[in-house]
């Protein structure tokens, strides 16, 4: 998509003879791109990585503490208790007021005033009724605000809790929170996390590889970017940027840049020239490689490219995409993709571990 930046309607490609009268072979001097050597950072997934990711997943959900029953019979402040309860309003159970096997730490303040205090001194196996009143302002359920209720509570056991972590992850917790994803055991969650991290690392390694290849090409090759083409691309990019700012923010470009980026028009113009020149340099190198290696626009591959562009970048249709960029340019862009893939396939790649970032 980078190669499409700044390209307007009915655009011809950088190497096209339609409207761009220059010879790509004269404008580009190719270096030894076939079999180029590049170094690419690629991380290996460690158990620590998996642990950190699983614990980040756990943190997204309300953590149900791991409960360990103790040989204790009477409830005291600070105890964790396993309880069943039923809340009644005018003798009828109300929504959200009934649960079984709930873990509650006495003194945590999770329940309304009087509930936790009412359990202190109760024994395991006791059933008791607590006459309580919901707060006048009760945001979890405004309909219950200020209402007098009765909670019938049974104390099942007394114990201690520890927070859910990677080490003590239970199948029950995973099934309750991740079952909708088809993950219902602790090991399955860890395997899922590991697979995701592996895929992520592969993705970033591929991205790093492409970046390294494109940078190396610019080092190996020399390009004389036609001034006319550069001026045209800069003009079109600036016009599109101005139109977008006007449409989205109803502002002039100069005001928008100053207000949001503390940048002047002169700085913006200079940056745009540099950006478009780098884009054109890459584009022309890849088109020259495509020409030298005999790469062509095959109908099946080109159609897949258009379909992906429409899907990935939110175009209404292929016609809308073609109307914006022009078919000549889209075909050149497709050729550029084929060329960089060809160079990547033939490159000699050395993968290295990223350097650990230093912390002061």
β strands within the chain, DSSP E: 28-29, 37-41, 66-69, 80-89, 92-105, 127-133, 148-162, 222-223, 348-352
Q: Whole-angstrom Cα distance, residue 202 to residue 209?
A: 10
- Tell me which residue of 44, 348, 357 sits closest to 200, measured CA to CA: 44
Cα end-to-end distance, the chain, whole Å = 38
Residue with tokens 């928008």: 256
Q: Whole-angstrom Cα distance, residue 1 to residue 229?
A: 19
Contact (CB, 8 A) for 12 and 19? yes
In this prediction, residue 163 carries a pLDDT of 81
Neighbouring C-beta atoms of residue 184, cutoff 10 Å: 16
CA-based R_g, the chain, Å: 32
In this prediction, residue 357 carries a pLDDT of 52
Contact (CB, 8 A) for 48 and 112? no
pLDDT tens, position by position, for the chain (360 residues)?
444 443 333 444 444 443 445 688 899 999 999 999 999 999 999 999 999 999 999 888 766 677 889 999 999 999 999 999 999 999 999 998 999 999 899 998 989 999 999 999 999 999 999 999 999 999 888 999 999 999 999 999 999 887 888 998 889 888 888 888 899 999 999 999 999 999 999 999 999 999 999 999 999 999 999 999 999 999 999 999 999 999 999 999 999 999 999 999 999 999 999 999 999 999 999 999 999 999 999 999 999 999 999 999 999 999 999 998 899 989 999 999 999 999 999 999 999 988 765 444
0.85 surpassed by pTM: no
Backbone angles phi, psi at 93, to 5 degrees: -65, 135
Q: What stretches of 221-326 show up as alpha helix (H) in DSSP?
A: 227-249, 253-261, 265-292, 299-312, 318-325
In this prediction, residue 162 carries a pLDDT of 78
The domains found in the chain, sorted by start residue, are: 2-33+221-352 (no CATH), 66-163 (3.10.50.40)
Angle between helices 265-292 and 227-249 (to 10 degrees): 130
């Amino acid at each position: 998509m980078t190669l499409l930046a700044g390209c307007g309607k009915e655009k011809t490609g950088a190497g096209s003879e339609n409207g761009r009268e220059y010879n790509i072979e004269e404008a580009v001097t190719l270096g030894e791109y076939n079999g180029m050597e590049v170094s690419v950072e690629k991380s290996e997934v460690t158990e620590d990585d998996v642990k950190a990711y699983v614990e980040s997943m756990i943190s997204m959900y309300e953590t149900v503490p791991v409960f360990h029953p103790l040989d204790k019979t009477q409830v005291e402040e600070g105890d964790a208790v396993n309880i069943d309860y039923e809340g009644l309003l005018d003798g009828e159970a109300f929504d959200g007021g009934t649960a079984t096997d709930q873990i509650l730490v006495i003194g945590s303040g999770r329940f309304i005033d009087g509930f936790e205090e009412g359990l202190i001194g109760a024994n395991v196996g006791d059933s008791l009724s607590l006459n309580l009143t919901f707060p006048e302002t009760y945001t979890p359920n405004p309909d219950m605000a200020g209402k007098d209720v009765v909670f019938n509570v049974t104390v099942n056991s007394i114990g201690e809790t520890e927070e859910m972590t990677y080490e003590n992850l239970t199948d029950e917790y995973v099934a309750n929170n991740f079952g909708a994803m088809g993950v219902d055991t602790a090991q399955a969650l860890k395997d899922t996390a590991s697979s995701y991290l592996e895929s992520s690392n592969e993705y970033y390694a591929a991205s790093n590889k492409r970046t390294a290849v494109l940078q190396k090409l610019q080092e190996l090759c020399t390009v004389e970017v036609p001034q006319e083409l550069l001026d045209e691309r800069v003009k079109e990019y600036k016009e599109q940027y101005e139109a977008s700012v006007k449409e989205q923010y109803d502002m002039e470009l100069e005001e928008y840049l100053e207000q949001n980026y503390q940048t002047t028009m002169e700085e913006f113009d200079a940056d745009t020239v540099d950006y478009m020149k780098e884009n054109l340099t890459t584009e022309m190198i890849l088109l020259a490689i495509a020409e030298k290696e005999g790469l062509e626009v095959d109908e099946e591959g080109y159609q897949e490219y258009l379909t992906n562009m429409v899907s990935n970048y939110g175009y209404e249709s292929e016609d809308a995409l073609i109307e914006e960029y022009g078919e000549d340019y889209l075909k050149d862009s497709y050729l550029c993709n084929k060329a960089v893939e060809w160079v990547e396939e033939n490159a000699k790649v050395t993968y290295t571990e990223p350097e650990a970032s230093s912390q002061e």
